[in-house]
Amino acid sequence: DNPPIGSGRHFGGYFSGADRQQADPKLLRHKWENAFTIDAASWGYSRKSNIGDYLSVRDMLHQVISTIAYGGNALINVGPTHDGRILPVFQERLLALGKWLEVNGAAVYGSRPWRAQNDTASHGVHEGVYYTASPATGSVFAFAMHWPADSVLRLVQPKPSAGTSAQLLGCAKPVTWSAGAGGTGIDVHIPSLTPPELPSQEGPWVFELRAVN
């Protein structure tokens, strides 16, 4: 078995851990990996698996995003059949992940952990907002796990400046922002969008923030 992720023991240069192990702040100074399976019940091909055993695309993205926000590497496992075939359910999940990355890859590839990893009081895979940063552009990316009910994404961590701007990746319509309540953080105001204008129907949705601290 892999050593617990916070134990200080590791294989090679990477700290590892149990299946779907989530990060915590002590890992920020280490290379680490979250290895997880699309078939949540098995690392190999299983004829006993039912549709409910497979991670949904949203579940996969939550795993990936909450990992990279802490500087981790996401290793995604599929179990081939005895003759090397990849089942259509695995193909569908991976193709959907690739389609999401076509729109939002700038927030993933070459990114680094930001000074804050999330914008929620309690860390949860399916909750709140996660952050990454781009050393190349200076942008901060906010991954919204859920669409805000009033189309206003309230972010506590970013500190705006005179040059701050916001953009929803994959969306051509402009996004505006205002200072958060009490002068803390920023509120991102999402325009009214038709389904074809949305970069994703189910999310997560990624907002690029420029000139924030």
Scanning 69-177, the segments in alpha helix (DSSP H) are 88-104
Q: How distant is the alpha carbon of residue 30 from its chain centre?
A: 19
Q: Are 168 and 153 in contact (CB under 8 A)?
A: no
**For the chain (length 213 residues), average pLDDT per consecutive 10?**
56 66 68 88 93 94 92 92 96 97 97 90 62 97 92 94 97 95 91 95 95 96
Q: Are 208 and 141 in contact (CB under 8 A)?
A: yes
How high is the pLDDT of residue 123? Answer: 42
Neighbours of 7 (CB within 10 A): 10
